[in-house]
Structure 1
């Protein structure tokens, strides 16, 4: 640790975008309450115009702030959370993640140790994939490291923390990006204002539902195509996307 006292630590807002997540959100919020509550200054769920019982799930957790964003799209939900939050650092997780013990402490540790750190991210582990499927799915983070060496940035959208002042300088999130490539765009623009660190220790358990539904090879191909497209062309290669619930 950096030796910072609790009073010196930056405040952290946890933001969880959610669209029709009544099935996955309860486990996410249970993990948040167990491991993050009392450490984050606030926990915000951004309901991205859900048509199911997402709001009712949030209402079962009095400590969680409910915010509604009527324009569907992950970047719009992230932006709504940015506007509604107050923390000096915004920590974004997805509604199908299980934030683990020690996760917020790593944010404090890394931002305390690297004064020029703009954005912190780390790999996923997949709690609902087993055996070889899990190993293959987590292996792409190793395969992606040469890209990070080439460009200087790598992050995943369901597991990152970013300084508020960096987001201000970036002009917030790019709402013209519907889904694929939004994480690459965030990292690329954040790098203009400091270091973007991808820490192998900063692991987030998440669902492999998209890989199970669409296949690892397809998802990996889409991600790499959009990484290169955002990095070198400034716009995503893929426009459409499928909601996996």
Structure 2
């Protein structure tokens, strides 16, 4: 399975300045492996299209460009990438360069080594580069989420993940799914493993997310996921039994 295709999904909006270096770093990290890169352009208004056209014509691996006609948010961008993926495993990484691509093979290998009962490897950031206010808000949000959902994950907001494609496509998608992937994977009856990763500073541009809009939306999403888990039993694994 080491040479099986891995689909690397990058959601991003107006990240033209960050994408070329990020793609080069992914190429280095994934050297010797079979992979494709899927950039989901979430309604960008910068030079993303031209940058990706140049990348697609020069890179020796597939660089695919999925474009949203309007900005729909990170979770729905990830969803578009998952449904376009050709690999059995989807690895996600943010388009702003803060996630280090060297951890993609670490997450993929951790997922494969964990066995078929585990469907996701979740990155958990160390040495956060965000402002102190964002770090404190994130810590509180993660504590509250784990207290309610019991997903045993320290940092679900990290964009670095590796998930079995078939299972990833089963979870419900809404504007905020990317913050609750471990809980939703567990809801499907699978386990989650965790890998520590080191965060980096954004190279170019500015974040599309603020503290207060993220916090308010995250609280509403948390209530929704709690309700979903209360109303839906953990999914059993079903198989056909043949007789005779």
TM-score using structure 2 length? 0.70
Q: CA deviation at 1:93?
A: 1.0
Q: Compute the RMSD of aligned alpha carbons.
A: 3.5
In 1, distance between residues paired with 2:158 and 2:33?
21
Q: CA deviation at 1:16?
A: 0.6
SS in 2 for 1:78: helix
Aligned residue among 171, 196, 199 for 1:201: 196
In the TM superposition, 1:1-245 aligns within 5 A as 6-7=2-3, 10-61=4-55, 62-63=58-59, 64-73=63-72, 74-97=74-97, 98-124=99-125, 129=130, 133=131, 137=135, 140-141=138-139, 144=142, 147-148=145-146, 150-153=148-151, 154=153, 155-156=156-157, 158-170=159-171, 174=173, 177-178=174-175, 181-193=176-188, 194-197=190-193, 199-205=194-200, 207=202, 209-210=206-207, 214=210, 218=212, 221-222=215-216, 225-226=219-220, 228-234=222-228
Contact kept? 2:122, 2:182, Cα under 8 Å: no
Give the paired residue count: 216
Distance 1:15 1:57, change over 3 A: same
Instruction: Report Cα offsets for 1:194-233 as digits up to 9, x if no partner.
Output: 0133x2524454639549x845xx4774476246323324
In 2, distance between residues paired with 1:195 and 1:56?
40
Q: CA deviation at 1:57?
A: 1.7
Instruction: Report Cα offsets for 1:143-168 as digits up to 9, x if no partner.
Output: 83574365232422622121111124
Structure 2: give runs of 5+ residues left out of the alignment. 230-244
Contact kept? 1:90, 1:164, Cα under 8 Å: yes
TM-score using structure 1 length? 0.70
Structure 1: give runs of 5+ residues left out of the alignment. 236-245
SS in 1 for 2:185: helix
Q: CA deviation at 1:42?
A: 0.7
In 2, distance between residues paired with 1:185 and 1:105?
21
Tell me which residue corresponds to 1:240. Answer: none
Contact kept? 1:35, 1:100, Cα under 8 Å: yes
In 2, distance between residues paired with 1:142 and 1:160?
21
Contact kept? 2:16, 2:46, Cα under 8 Å: yes
Out of 43-52 and 226-235, give the one that drifted further. Answer: 226-235
Contact kept? 2:38, 2:81, Cα under 8 Å: yes
Distance 1:128 1:189, change over 3 A: closer
Structure 1 or 2, whichever has the larger Rg, is 2
